[in-house]
Amino acid sequence: MNNAGTATDDIYQGANPSIDVVGAVPNDSYCKGCTRCLRGGYTPETSCGTITLGSTSFQNGSGQYYRDMFTVDLASRPGDSGGPHYRKSTNNNTAEAAGIHGGQVSLQGTNGNDAYASKYYNAASLFNLTLVTTD
């Protein structure tokens, strides 16, 4: 967002009620088997899966190198890139930011075609981002 006035702390979930973002997951919370969700631009509803790789680096077929990413066993669609990955609270009323969606990848250790995302704290540090947690 270029303007704090247009930013929102809500994640729209399609037919389900929106949920409020209340913070970010801790740096050490990218454990294999932990649940993460994605809301992309073209995924019609929130999609959730489990982390398959908590920290991975890889090079894609075009020679681009990705460092310290995490992968989740869930399908995404073209146009979902840039969407939030997040962890829902146990009552599903709030969420914590976990990452920024990159796309699909097939790597050893994944389930064959997993979503990959940058970790929120890496993106926040690199781009000097501030998480909006109030409307």
Nearest to 85 by CA among 116, 42, 112, 56: 116
Residue 12 pLDDT level (bands cut at 50, 70, 90): low
Nearest to 76 by CA among 107, 117, 110, 108: 117
**Average pLDDT along the chain:** 83
Q: Answer yes or no: is pLDDT of 49 > 80.
A: yes
Surface-to-core class of residue 34, CB atoms within 10 Å of its CB (0-12 exposed, 13-18 middle, 19+ buried): middle
Which DSSP string corresponds to 50-103? Answer: EEEEEEEEEE-TTS-EEEEEEEES----TT-TTPEEEEE-TTSSEEEEEEEEEE
Q: Which residue is listed with tokens 């681009």?
A: 64
Whole-number pLDDT of residue 27? 87
Whole-number pLDDT of residue 112? 81
Average pLDDT over residues 60-80: 89
3-class DSSP state for residue 114?
Answer: strand
Whole-number pLDDT of residue 92? 74
Q: Answer yes or no: is pLDDT of 32 > 90.
A: yes
Tell me how many helices (H) and strands (E) the chain has.
Answer: 1, 8
Residue 21 pLDDT level (bands cut at 50, 70, 90): confident
Whole-number pLDDT of residue 16? 59
Q: Answer yes or no: is pLDDT of 24 > 60.
A: yes
Average pLDDT over residues 71-76: 91
